[in-house]
Structure 1
Amino acid sequence: MTARPEPAAAVPLPDVPEAARIYPVPVRWSDMDAYAHVNNVQYLRFFEEARVLAFKDWFGAERDLIDEGMLVVSQAIDYLLPMGYAYAPARVAVWCSDVGAASFELGYAVGGPVGDDTVYARGRVTLVAYDLADQRPRRLGAPERDALAAVAGPPPLLRGDRRRGRA
């Protein structure tokens, strides 16, 4: 059995809410593209890896929201700078930026390894709690809302937000 990485919460990233949790995510050699930087599609994997760790951290090891049913319904990413390969893991900050009746939004910032405070990408992912047996969304319960409130912060500002008047 592989031990899961512990959050590196003591090493913040710039412009990330204080309540965010930061998780180490390995950058694999195969994540690189022909231009010698992390391929854009790999950032979705970084989000996913950090989200899996965050759910165990936020909701408890005895509860698995992924097995209970949680679907990604939208994603948005701003690629800020090209990230090269490093032997140390990237740091991915995750926080809750909005909560609805059955859905919630997570904010993300992908930073370099400890010692590199560069933020290479920012993003948002909206998820919906889903009843797998009934094949339909379900309402978030009070324990889920409380856990999300503990890691709440403002949404990351993305380029498209300025055009839509969100900024």
Structure 2
Amino acid sequence: MRHIYRCPLRWADMDAYGHVNNVVFLRYLEEARIDFLFRPEKDFKQGSVVARHEIDYKRQLVHRHHPVDIELWISEIRAASFTITYEVKDADVLYVRASTVVVPFDFEAQRPRRITPEEREFLEEYRDGTDGEDAEREAVAA
């Protein structure tokens, strides 16, 4: 299963050329990640921190008044981290493919912690072994 976040574009997001600034995409990913992880029914209440981001810019996103979709899924789950993979896109255009390594964190003890069984069960619902690259290669080959 995948999670979809409808991300609003803001006037302040664009650069001098009218495109969404590349740095703003990090904030978009953060908004999508928070929307995914901190829902009332499923919450990483103990906290988490970002260990790593990777962003592959595919096409410029021009500022407009309607939202862009951010589709995300879990591509890897380890004992004390998990990877979220994202696609920032419209129905027919991919702007960004990205991933974030998230580490569950105990803020009281000030150290990383293991993923709880409840958190793992939630993450497994959104686990998808494909990273989008296979689909892109198949489309190019066709």
**What's the TM-score bracket when you normalise by the shorter of the two chains?**
0.7 to 0.9
Q: Counterpart of 1:42?
A: 24
Distance 1:63 1:149, change over 3 A: closer
Q: Counterpart of 1:90?
A: 68
Distance in 2 (alpha carbons) for counterparts of 1:156 and 1:104: 14
After TM superposition, the score normalised by the length of structure 1 is: 0.74
Aligned length: 133
* Deviation of 1:157 (Å): 5.7
Question: Are 1:98 and 1:155, in contact at CA under 8 Å, matched by a contact in 2?
Answer: no
Distance 1:140 1:74, change over 3 A: same
Superposed CA deviations along residues 84-121 of structure 1, whole A, max 9, x for unmatched, are 01211110011100011110000000013xxx421100
RMSD over equivalenced CA pairs, Å: 1.6
Superposed CA deviations along residues 24-43 of structure 1, whole A, max 9, x for unmatched, are 01111110001210100111
Q: Counterpart of 1:27?
A: 9
Q: Counterpart of 1:106?
A: 84
Question: Are 2:58 and 2:96, in contact at CA under 8 Å, matched by a contact in 1?
Answer: yes
Question: Are 2:42 and 2:122, in contact at CA under 8 Å, matched by a contact in 1?
Answer: no
1:79 counterpart letter in structure 2: Y
Distance in 2 (alpha carbons) for counterparts of 1:42 and 1:69: 23
Q: Counterpart of 1:141?
A: 116
- Counterpart of 1:68 in 2: which secondary structure? coil
Superposed CA deviations along residues 11-54 of structure 1, whole A, max 9, x for unmatched, are xxxxxxxx211110111111000121010011111110011111
1:135 counterpart letter in structure 2: Q
Question: Are 1:31 and 1:38, in contact at CA under 8 Å, matched by a contact in 2?
Answer: yes
Distance 1:155 1:136, change over 3 A: farther
Structure 1 portions without partners, runs of 5+: 1-18, 159-167
After TM superposition, the score normalised by the length of structure 2 is: 0.87
Q: Counterpart of 1:80?
A: 58
Superposed CA deviations along residues 140-161 of structure 1, whole A, max 9, x for unmatched, are 1111111111001135367xxx
Tell me which stretches of 4 or more aligned residues in structure 1 moved more than 6 Å: none
Q: Counterpart of 2:139?
A: none
Equivalences for residues 32-71 of structure 1 within 5 A: 32-57=14-39, 61=40, 64-65=43-44, 68-71=46-49
In terms of fraction of residues, the more strand-rich structure is 2
Percent of counterpart pairs with the same letter? Answer: 38
